[in-house]
Structure 1
Amino acid sequence: MRSFEEILQLCEVDLEFYEAVIELESRESGKDFDSIYASMSFILDAMEQSVNSAIKSDFKGRLMKDEAQRFGEYISQANDLLSGKLIAKSSHIALSVSQYNSSMGRIVAAPTAGSCGILPGLLFAYNNLYAPTRDALVMALIVAGGVGEVIQKRATLAGAEGGCQAECGAAAAMGSAALTFLKGGSSEALAHAAALTLKSVMGLVCDPVAGLVEVPCIKRNGTLVALASICADMALAGVRSVIPPDEVVDAMRQVGRALPESLRETSKGGLAITPKARTLEKDILSQISPLSEI
């Protein structure tokens, strides 16, 4: 599936967005509806296990320590959350899963390891607050997968190719469409939720400190759930992207290619070359034994 237009054309006939995604996947892969649905159900189970493990885990990252735990304690005690329950819970899960990934925990790349917290954060925070059916969650995951597939086919999901707009940005777009689906939005609204999200992160660079998927990656996971949520609300309200969703993805591809190499996961620009980042990198390297001494 190379376009939102292709999905929406099927939806205009008699299919829901998730059904159109499965139909197009079936045409490409030769798998039937039931096997595709079962595969996504399995992925949802793995994602849920990752969330549960992450929240309970004692993290041992090199640059990030207990930020997720601190935030979890804060939201459990706060009476009036500025960001609201859904965003705060989503952010806590996103931070937890991302930190779990940085400490070699088992996660679902959604769509990448560096952006692995955003989609589970949104899905399982929504599940915690609204208790949708399991089928609804699987369908939402299929919606997210369809959005990710379009971005991958028309642009990229790799930070090394397109910057963090292609990783955390894509994950947020996938999550925004999934939320819009769970709230009963139209197929058109789903596509525009994704487009509104991508427009808001256009040009986001990939600048990991010391080459690790920790800073600023983990906190970007924690903050972009907020963007995904508000874009879903805008789409549900009838707000539409003036630029068609497919053209937004095409623009994202062009912007990604225009980014200098220093801002595409090489740790040669952005936050990765600040004085503090250089100090942290030296500290980390000093703790690593040379191969000859191993």
Structure 2
Amino acid sequence: MLEYQSISALCAAAEEAGVSLSELVLRDQAEEMELPTEVLYQRMRENLQVMRQAIQAGSMPETRSLSGLTGGDAFKMKRYAQEGGIIGGFMNRSIARALAVSEYNAAMGKVVASPTAGSCGILPGTVVSMLEEGKCTEEAAVMALFTAGAVGMVIAQQASIAGAQGGCQAECGSASAMAAAALVELCGGTPTQAGHACAMAIKNQLGLVCDPVAGLVEIPCIKRNVSGVSIAFTAAEMALAGIESKIPVDECIQAMKSVGDSMCSALKETALGGLAMTPTGIQYAKRIYNTAQ
């Protein structure tokens, strides 16, 4: 049985066995749960379908959160992506997908917590984009989610995936690392390269605080999902180019835990610091809760 205590150990085991991370993990999970691999594969395929449905529903122009603070931006981004923009149609459509899932979450829609609801747009914004843009098969996309899940399991055990414990680095940072590993696998990279991509994604979000305006998973959470998508893609690209993280991935995870432990409580989902305490953030909170009363 795999321990899920170290990403480097998972990568080494996959390299030694001559299989992808997803194959290693699927085989291990089937053995541990005493279920056929086909059953677990189908469950993960259903998760992928939920992600795709959330993108479709969240892209509607009428999508709005219950607070009224967010919604409709995915539609704007999807429309803008038709023009190509600065970074090109593919990336802008990926951004639109991340926004769609995050806005659908804020509107109380059904999403896949990957690893959390607050970071739910990052994995779909990458893996579903690869699928819908014709860069991979559905089977490859489903399998890539097993790789992402394994990364999330290690981070959850060694650090945290909760904003209340580690700040947004623990949510969007973890999701970005998961997505980066999945992307490397989808592009034919090695398990070792996937580990480097994880490390680079985490390093680029160390110290990211959790400061939800009015205590809601909307501002700035939704737009941070977009930056998480961008970091996942760039981390994967660097790893696929042969660039290695000078700091090993598991040490990056430990650093993330250390940074999270040292954060004051005001910056860990309490809405008592950061953007939540800006004049505009305070006004939003007053407007929402005065209305609610």
Q: TM-score, normalising length from structure 2? A: 0.93
Q: Secondary structure at the match of 2:117?
A: coil
> How well do the aligned residues superpose, as a CA RMSD in angstroms?
1.5
Residue 181 of structure 2 corresponds to which residue in structure 1? Answer: 177
Does 1:221 pair with 2:241? no
For the 8 Å contact 2:126–2:179, the answer to whether it is kept is yes
Q: 1:16-44 CA distances to partner (integer Å, 9 max, x unpaired)?
A: 21112223434543444333222212211
Does 1:23 pair with 2:66? no
For the 8 Å contact 1:90–1:118, the answer to whether it is kept is no
Q: Secondary structure at the match of 1:114?
A: helix
Does 1:283 pair with 2:287? yes
C-alpha distance in 2, partners of 1:159/1:167?
Answer: 6
For the 8 Å contact 2:8–2:192, the answer to whether it is kept is no
For the 8 Å contact 2:58–2:74, the answer to whether it is kept is no
* CA pair 131-15 structure 1, distance change in 2 beyond 3 A: closer
C-alpha distance in 2, partners of 1:36/1:67?
Answer: 34
For the 8 Å contact 2:93–2:129, the answer to whether it is kept is yes
For the 8 Å contact 2:51–2:101, the answer to whether it is kept is no
For the 8 Å contact 2:57–2:100, the answer to whether it is kept is no
Residue 195 of structure 2 corresponds to which residue in structure 1? Answer: 191
Does 1:100 pair with 2:104? yes
What stretches of structure 1 of length at least 5 have no aligned partner? 290-294
Does 1:4 pair with 2:7? yes
Equivalent pairs: percent with the same residue?
A: 41
* CA pair 250-169 structure 1, distance change in 2 beyond 3 A: same
Residue 138 of structure 2 corresponds to which residue in structure 1? Answer: 134
Q: TM-score, normalising length from structure 1? A: 0.93
Q: 1:232-267 CA distances to partner (integer Å, 9 max, x unpaired)?
A: 100000111111111111111111111110000000
For the 8 Å contact 1:21–1:142, the answer to whether it is kept is yes
Residue 92 of structure 2 corresponds to which residue in structure 1? Answer: 88
Match among 40, 63, 66 for residue 72 of structure 2: 66
For the 8 Å contact 1:140–1:182, the answer to whether it is kept is yes
Aligned length: 287
Letter in 2 for 1:139: M
Residue 265 of structure 1 corresponds to which residue in structure 2? Answer: 269
For the 8 Å contact 1:122–1:175, the answer to whether it is kept is yes
Letter in 2 for 1:192: H
What stretches of structure 2 of length at least 5 have no aligned partner? none
Q: How far is the alpha carbon of 1:131 from its aligned partner? A: 4.3
For the 8 Å contact 1:86–1:126, the answer to whether it is kept is no
